Structure 1
Amino acid sequence: MDFADAIGLVQPHTPLHVIFIRIGLAALFGGMIGFERERHREGAGLRTHILIATAACLFTLLTIEIFETFGGSPNSRADPIRAIDAVTAGVAFLGAGAIFRRPHDVKGLTTGAGMWLAGAVGVATSLGYYVVGFVVSLFAIIVLSLLRALKLWIDAKDEPGGEER
Structure 2
Amino acid sequence: MTDMFQPTTLSWLEVTARLAAAVIFPLIVGLERFFHKKPIDFRPFVIISVAACGLLIGSIELLQTTSGDEQARIDPTRVIEGVITGIGFIGAGAMFRQGNYVQGAGSAASIWCAGAIGLVCGMGELWLGAVIALLVLILLLVSRPFTERWDPGNHPAQEQE
1:145 Cα shift?
Answer: 1.1
For residues 26-66 of structure 1, what are the alpha-carbon distances to aligned partners after superposition, in whole Å with 9 as ceiling and x for unaligned? 10001011011001011212111111111111111111011
2:10 maps to which residue?
Answer: 14
1:97 Cα shift?
Answer: 1.1
2:98 maps to which residue?
Answer: 102
Distance (Å, rounded) in 2 between the aligned partners of 1:82 and 1:4: 29
Distance (Å, rounded) in 2 between the aligned partners of 1:11 and 1:130: 19
CA contact (8 A) 1:56 1:122 kept: yes
Q: TM-score, normalised by structure 1?
A: 0.85
Q: 1:129 aligns with which of 114, 125, 129?
A: 125
CA contact (8 A) 2:7 2:61 kept: no
1:59 maps to which residue?
Answer: 55
Give unmatched runs, 5+ long, in structure 1: 161-165
Tell me, yes or no, if structure 1 residue 87 matches structure 2 residue 83.
yes
Q: Computing the radius of gyration over CA atoms, which structure comes out larger, 1 or 2?
A: 1
Q: 2:109 aligns with which of 96, 106, 113?
A: 113
Distance (Å, rounded) in 2 between the aligned partners of 1:83 and 1:49: 18
Distance (Å, rounded) in 1 between the aligned partners of 2:104 and 2:67: 40
Tell me, yes or no, if structure 1 residue 145 matches structure 2 residue 151.
no
SS at match of 2:73: coil
Runs of 4+ residues over 3 Å off in structure 1: 8-11, 153-160
Tell me, yes or no, if structure 1 residue 38 matches structure 2 residue 27.
no
Identify which range, 97-106 or 61-70, moves more after superposition: 97-106
Letter in 2 for 1:86: G
CA contact (8 A) 1:30 1:52 kept: no
1:158 Cα shift?
Answer: 5.7
CA contact (8 A) 1:99 1:106 kept: yes
Aligned-pair Cα RMSD in Å:
2.1
Q: TM-score, normalised by structure 2?
A: 0.87
Distance (Å, rounded) in 2 between the aligned partners of 1:103 and 1:149: 22
Cα pair distance change 1:126/1:11, threshold 3 Å: closer
SS at match of 2:20: helix
Query: Taking every aligned residue pair, what percent have the same amino acid on both sides?
Result: 30
SS at match of 1:106: strand
Identify which range, 97-106 or 127-136, moves more after superposition: 97-106
Give unmatched runs, 5+ long, in structure 2: none
